């Protein structure tokens, strides 16, 4: 609205802090705390074993999980990050190979047997049926204003409708854990152990075209 707009939020606080500290200190501290919150590992120590177990069986499951990923990301993100987070949350055994130590043990504790399948076992199933569901879910969320794409940057953002309906704990939990794990996974590298397998790359490419 410009500097002369009469109802700027916290204008008095901002002016007073700039005079006293030479900066808008409250803004810096709040943004710093928010950044730390976004980067922090999910608190899962009080959750029961198998809290997030189950399979992604139909379009409703896919849509709920995709919406949970969008809700978790909090800031505009690359579309492939969204697809990768969904893939790892939907197929827990794929994320397991990217985890080590306590994070791997905690993921497997919460998700159950689905986290310990052979890496290549479910990719064909995922690429056939849920891949179609992914495209349908993305279109539905876009129509509701939940999935938004910036035409300039191409990044994905979430709309206000993200909060209209409650999400099941298993979806929010998996999405939170998978999104945090992506911080240590290189989506572009092809030679490191932290990179994606060819099957994972194939799903991301196919889901982009779904």
| pLDDT per residue as tens digits for the range 6-34 | 666 788 888 898 999 999 888 888 888 87
A 10 A CB-CB count for 184 gives 11
**Domain-embedded: residue 86:** yes
Q: Say whether both 30 and 113 belong to one domain.
A: no
- Give the DSSP H or E segment for 147: strand 147-149
Q: Say whether both 161 and 94 belong to one domain.
A: yes
Q: Which of 2-11, 150-159, 194-203 has the highest mean pLDDT?
A: 150-159
- Tell me the average pLDDT across 157-178: 92
Which structural domain, as residue segments, surrounds residue 11?
A: 1-40
Question: Pick from 101, 97, 129, 88: which is nearest to 116 by CA?
Answer: 97
Q: What is the pLDDT of residue 209?
A: 67
- Tell me the average pLDDT across 129-138: 78
Q: Say whether both 97 and 133 belong to one domain.
A: yes
Say if residue 68's pLDDT is above 80.
yes
Question: Where does the pLDDT of residue 125 fall: very low under 50, low under 70, confident under 90, or very high at 90 and above?
Answer: very low
**Domain-embedded: residue 53:** no
Residue 176 · residue 72 · CB < 8 Å: yes
Q: Say whether both 23 and 85 belong to one domain.
A: no
Number of domain units in the chain: 2
Question: Pick from 163, 209, 173, 171: which is nearest to 56 by CA?
Answer: 171
| CA distance linking residue 116 with residue 118, whole number of Å | 7
- Tell me the average pLDDT across 45-51: 93
Q: Say whether both 24 and 72 belong to one domain.
A: no
Q: What is the pLDDT of residue 183?
A: 85
Q: Say whether both 149 and 196 belong to one domain.
A: yes
Q: Say whether both 11 and 88 belong to one domain.
A: no
Q: Say whether both 21 and 63 belong to one domain.
A: no
A 10 A CB-CB count for 153 gives 10
């Amino acid at each position: 609205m410009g500097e002369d707009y009469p109802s700027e939020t916290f204008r008095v606080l901002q002016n007073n802090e700039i005079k006293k500290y030479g900066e808008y200190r409250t803004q810096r501290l709040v943004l710093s705390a928010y950044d730390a919150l976004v980067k922090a590992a999910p608190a899962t120590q009080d959750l029961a074993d198998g809290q997030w177990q189950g399979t992604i069986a139909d379009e409703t499951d896919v849509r709920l999980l995709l919406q949970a990923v969008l809700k978790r990301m909090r800031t505009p993100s690359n579309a492939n990050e969204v697809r990768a987070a969904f893939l790892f949350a939907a197929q827990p055994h794929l994320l397991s190979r990217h985890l080590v130590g306590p994070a791997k043990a905690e993921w497997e504790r919460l998700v159950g047997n689905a986290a310990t399948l052979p890496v290549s076992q479910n990719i064909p199933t995922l690429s056939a049926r849920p891949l179609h569901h992914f495209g349908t879910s993305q279109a539905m969320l876009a129509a509701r204003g939940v999935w938004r794409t910036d035409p300039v940057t191409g990044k994905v953002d979430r709309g206000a409708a993200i909060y209209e309906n409650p999400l099941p704990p298993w979806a929010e939990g998996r999405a939170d854990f998978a999104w945090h794990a992506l911080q240590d996974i290189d989506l572009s590298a092809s030679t490191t152990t932290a990179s994606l397998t060819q099957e994972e790359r194939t799903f991301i490419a196919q889901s982009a075209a779904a």
